Structure 1
């Protein structure tokens, strides 16, 4: 079994930056990611290596991938990490089968999961997440649909709409929960980041040129099938995202791309029993860390959006800072003060804009109020809002009781899709805080696996049969 000084889980900007920093300082480093190429969601590589792409995000991703290829980092790309134990053993499944490694220090940089607040028709074919639309456009170079409605909240609205138009698609409308004044409140933070401001123009200008309708302070309330297309119904909403009385509008499209922000991926840090806290502004439950990114568990670090949503630019700077701390703890030294201070300042500068965007994507406290009773919340187990509230009335007062009584969160995604919404519904029904209802307990395997994947060519005839014991 291979042993490393540092294992980094997640090859997004935070994980790659940390791995490169630690490797350059002489550490033996392994980097795991389930994708075939490094870069994460923002700096995602095209699936076709010879695809011609442009843009600042693609170039930044290529720079990271090039630096990795020239480094001594041991890359385990295309590997699904399915178990992490308390002694920092990492089990993963890759193209050549199962592998296991151990490490002195573990850094979790696993990013986020997209949140979609359920509405009537959200499970229909053709309704996809904004993150899924981003993957189609960036990696697959495929339009989500010939005609698309983009709905939800946060910066991905503009990115998906702009990239769809640039790729030759038709965006029928952008439906934004936020108001224009909320976006104006982010202007100073945006102007302080010239590179991000320039990038935002590449998204915004196609939208302006196409004169795409923008429905501010509106929400998507229903999608229904209309032959081979989808009929989306939108309505005005208040600041808490509750639909209000007013004129509704129906829009016929091929695809509805919708997303209501991101939630930090904390399943590994929760599995290892690090202390966590709930922060609506940071996206949800995040591990408590010190200034170096170390959790309450010794030698367990967190970096990037999994430590609180701040964006790709901030994640990269934080990754360098945490990587430096990992080097210090392994070499038995203190973190060099001048370098640490410079990296911290760079992170704080980048994070200022990221915090504004995180606030735009935060789950609004009235948003779940509009979920119809019959609407499925847990797609894996077909658990509806009504069933969740019935369990609450019967005495399920935390999410793990809810899980046991309804199977909500027991499916292949292990609550990554439904957990945030189920907990919000439970807290709202009980009139308590999100901390009071808790979070689903993670379980191994962390990702769904098949028995055949684990056993490979192992056959019944290969089972060793002990000789019969003498009487």
Structure 2
């Protein structure tokens, strides 16, 4: 593995997997580094082997695509072309040296060291050397606060899906699925199919607004058919959908007992007198997703809004660094697969000093373009309501790690003159806890009335001091 060009792929979801396969098939030695015990990412998350799931495919669609990726990975690992490092949590990527000559673009233009914490205890670090790096770190859910959102029984929509896929467990027996975005429908269907009573699906957007994007939607009949299948499944399980509604409060003492749902006007305000309660013991809630950009920010990659900016070959503006999948913009598994293939082919060509062959990824490039347009339209319609901050009471916790209420954030802005997220953080400690603002960042920015700003943290995750004090082990 040490001879010839070396690529480190960070993340073994759809984008990372297909990129690793494409590069390995063209002679690049690939080290695939992933935090999970198995490949697949969130989309292809599998039940633990010890659970003995008889039909894991029932929890997924696109199962045949997963089988091809899984079998391809196994073949390359067996042949020595890919080293798959599981349960390795990357906390830093160092760019060590630049190539000063004119061949810099054809070659990776730098050498890299990927530092990762090993295993569940994360008390040991290893280092992976590479000539190029692909960031396929995926995304994470955005959850906006509301009264009662910290009660036991309230989970993210993706969290509920992960519990079902990996642990074969339900977050509760009677569930409400709420928020906005295309993830809600598969989560509600999955919970219902697994035996939960889904009392309601509460969507703050109005799907009828998609009519304004009819041209874009019509170009993707497969996506429309997928949505129609989920709608039919919801009807079969008698799950009632409430559009342009929101969960405005969760209730309970020791755990969740009920939620209050209300209708929203076109501006996102609660319609007076429209509230009613739904008894439930679990609430799966999500307001869209955000890209994981910590490692990209550390490397100095340019961001386009909240996503890593890339060119037509999925290259960032840092030589030797590519990015693909949700980290460049949230758009689902199909888009991640297209971007991953383009990145893998580009990396292989660049490391071998050959120009990319346009015909080899023309189909992937066409799919990428169409899917980006499709999900831009969906994101426009499924954006959280503008007036959501008005439903956040002063005593509602916004930063759960540091227990900072909304009142403290409003005081920092209104009385102390804070005009950006960093100043709010310094004045209130919002974002200084274990998650470093990953959970509360969008909410703090919304309450402060300012855009979120890149953090540029030196580390992508908490690192034990003992790890920093000793020389890490190195893999070839």
Give the TM-score range, shorter chain: 0.7 to 0.9
Do residues 372 (structure 1) and 383 (structure 2) align?
no
Please state whether the residue corresponding to 1:233 is helix, strand or coil.
Answer: strand
Please state whether the residue corresponding to 1:390 is helix, strand or coil.
Answer: helix
Q: Which has the higher contact order (CA 8 A, sep 6+)?
A: 2
Of 442, 446, 452, which aligns to 2:457?
442
User: How much is the aligned-residue C-alpha RMSD, in angstroms?
Assistant: 2.6
Please state whether the residue corresponding to 1:258 is helix, strand or coil.
Answer: strand
| Stretch moving more, 10-19 or 335-344 | 335-344
Please state whether the residue corresponding to 1:14 is helix, strand or coil.
Answer: helix
Q: Distance in 1 between matches of 2:187 and 2:115?
A: 35
Residue 340 of structure 1 aligns with which residue?
361
Of 70, 73, 80, which aligns to 1:65?
70
Residue 410 of structure 1 aligns with which residue?
432
Please state whether the residue corresponding to 1:86 is helix, strand or coil.
Answer: strand
Q: Distance in 2 between matches of 1:140 and 1:61?
A: 19
Residue 339 of structure 2 aligns with which residue?
318
Residue 166 of structure 2 aligns with which residue?
139
Do residues 76 (structure 1) and 85 (structure 2) align?
yes
Of 447, 451, 476, which aligns to 1:425?
447
Deviation at 1:241, TM superposition (A): 3.1
Contact 2:13 2:41 (C-alpha < 8 Å) held by counterparts: yes
Aligned residues: 443
Residue 25 of structure 1 aligns with which residue?
26
Unmatched 5+ residue regions in structure 1? 279-284, 457-471
Shift of the 109–362 alpha-carbon distance from structure 1 to 2, 3 Å rule, reads: farther
| Stretch moving more, 187-196 or 148-157 | 187-196
Contact 1:274 1:297 (C-alpha < 8 Å) held by counterparts: yes
TM-score in terms of structure 2 length: 0.86
TM-score in terms of structure 1 length: 0.87
Deviation at 1:48, TM superposition (A): 2.8
Shift of the 92–406 alpha-carbon distance from structure 1 to 2, 3 Å rule, reads: same
Matches within 5 A, 1:26-45: 26-45=27-46
| Stretch moving more, 188-197 or 238-247 | 188-197
Matches within 5 A, 1:186-335: 192-193=219-220, 195-225=222-252, 229-278=256-305, 285-335=306-356
Residue 119 of structure 1 aligns with which residue?
146
Shift of the 337–2 alpha-carbon distance from structure 1 to 2, 3 Å rule, reads: closer
Please state whether the residue corresponding to 2:56 is helix, strand or coil.
Answer: coil
Cα offsets for 1:142-198 (capped at 9, x unmatched): 122110011111112111111111111100111110114135556765664455445
Cα offsets for 1:116-162 (capped at 9, x unmatched): 11000000000000000110122211122110011111112111111
Deviation at 1:251, TM superposition (A): 0.6
Shift of the 227–417 alpha-carbon distance from structure 1 to 2, 3 Å rule, reads: closer
Contact 1:310 1:358 (C-alpha < 8 Å) held by counterparts: no
Deviation at 1:90, TM superposition (A): 1.0
Q: Distance in 2 between matches of 1:84 and 1:352?
A: 31
Contact 1:2 1:100 (C-alpha < 8 Å) held by counterparts: no
Deviation at 1:61, TM superposition (A): 2.5
Residue 85 of structure 1 aligns with which residue?
94
Residue 6 of structure 2 aligns with which residue?
5
| Stretch moving more, 269-278 or 361-370 | 361-370
